[in-house]
């Protein structure tokens, strides 16, 4: 195993152990940090080195202390990465376009140091359990913007609708 592969493997193993310690699935983490599930799997198995911003997002999501984060960034040694390596690390996430509106029964919000995750669930008919409809991860700044947008939309919907007065037809304005 060459030095580069060893670095990839060490970083991947650290991230996988951290994810498993927090009892999070690959899907939960990939959604929270907005990367493709397959890419996260490749990172954890040491086949792909995450870009610096993705590694920082993962470290933040896992709430890794500063000393451990610095060690991992040193192991990654982004200064040694070539342009060819950089091109190989680019990740594109394809999100299917879906116009359905899913109505939920509950939402569970979890906040960490720099991120917020919202899990939307529905009650299963006749069952004593719920089903996850969607799980959305975002930065705290995005969460604050979302909360403000929700408040504004609700406030707007509660304002009384003022009827629009149409002008009286000219034939009725000047009765003869």
| Between 38 and 123, residue with greater pLDDT | 38
pLDDT confidence bin for 172, thresholds 50/70/90: low
Instruction: Tell me if the pTM is above 0.85.
Output: no
If you average pLDDT over residues 111-120, what whole number do you get? Answer: 86
Task: Give just the sign of the alpha carbon dihedral 146, 150, 153, 159.
Answer: negative
Give the pLDDT confidence score for residue 91 in this predicted structure: 46
Is residue 106 within 8 Å of residue 119, measured between CB atoms? no
Q: Per-residue confidence at 114, pLDDT binned at 50, 70, 90?
A: confident
pLDDT at 15: 93
**13-25 pLDDT, tens digit each:** 999 999 999 898 9
Write down the pLDDT at residue 147.
Answer: 94
Q: What is the pLDDT averaged over residues 50-56?
A: 87
Q: Which domains does the chain have, with CATH numbers?
A: 3-89 (1.10.260.40), 106-158 (no CATH)
Beta-strand pair 115-123/106-111 = antiparallel
131 bridge partner residues: 122
CA-CA-CA-CA torsion sign (22, 28, 33, 38) = positive
Question: What is the per-residue pLDDT for 122?
Answer: 85
Residue that wins the pLDDT comparison between 7 and 1 = 7
């Amino acid at each position: 195993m060459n030095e580069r592969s060893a670095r990839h493997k060490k970083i991947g193993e650290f991230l996988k152990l951290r994810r498993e310690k927090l009892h999070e699935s690959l899907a939960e983490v990939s959604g929270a940090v907005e990367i493709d599930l397959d890419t996260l799997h490749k990172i954890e198995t040491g086949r792909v080195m995450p870009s610096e911003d993705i590694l920082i997002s993962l470290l933040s999501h896992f709430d890794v202390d500063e000393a451990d984060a610095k060690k991992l960034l040193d192991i990654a040694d982004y200064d040694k990465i070539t342009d060819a390596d950089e091109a190989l690390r680019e990740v594109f996430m394809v999100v299917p376009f879906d116009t359905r509106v899913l109505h939920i029964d509950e939402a569970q919000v979890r906040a960490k140091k720099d991120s917020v995750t919202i899990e939307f669930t529905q009650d299963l008919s006749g069952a004593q359990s719920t089903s996850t409809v969607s799980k959305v991860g975002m930065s705290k700044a995005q969460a604050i913007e979302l909360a403000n947008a929700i408040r504004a939309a609700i406030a707007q919907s509660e304002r009384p609708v003022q009827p629009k007065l149409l002008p009286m037809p000219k034939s009725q304005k000047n009765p003869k």
